Amino acid sequence: MKWTLLMASLILMAGLSTASAQSDLDALRWKNRILVLFAPSADDPAFVRQSRTLLADREALAERELVVLGVAGDRVETLYGDPKARHEAAALRRHFGQAAASPFEAILIGKDGGVKWRRDAPFDIGGLNAVIDAMPMRRALR
C-alpha cells in the first residue's frame, strides 16, 4: 500500500511539473515565439556562442517577437524579451526531454505553442529567421 501511494505521488508530481512548464509557456502563447537554449552549464561553449550570435541582432529578435530563454544547468535566464511567467529549469527539461547533462540544443516554439524547429548545434540567425519568416502567422503580417 505504501509503495502504491509513493508511486502515485511521484507520478502526480512529475505530471504537475510538466503541466507547470506548459502553463509557463502558455502565458506567452499567441504573443511570442520562444527559443529555448538548453545546455549543461552557462559556460558551455555552444551555449555561449549561440547566445552571443542571437544577441548581436536584437532587431531581428524583436521583429519576430521572440523571447529567448537559456536553460543552463538548473537555472533559467531570460536572454532576450520580457516573459511574464516564471520558468523552472527542471520542469522545462522534463517537458522537452532534456536531462541536466544533455548537450546543447535549441528548440523554437511557435506562437501556437508547438515545437517548430530543433537544432543540436549553434546556428546563424539567418537560418532561424528563414524558419520563422516561412511560418503562416509571420507571412500574414508581411
Q: Walk along the chain (142 residues) and give the pLDDT tens digit of each residue.
A: 555 544 444 444 444 444 445 556 888 888 899 999 999 999 999 999 999 999 999 999 999 999 999 999 999 999 999 766 678 999 999 999 999 899 999 999 999 999 999 999 999 999 999 999 998 766 556 5
How many residues are given for the chain?
142
**All structural domains of the chain:** 2-141 (3.40.30.10)
- Please give the C-alpha separations between residue 81 and each of 15, 87, 110, in angstroms, as whole numbers: 28, 14, 15
Q: What is the pTM of this model?
A: 0.81
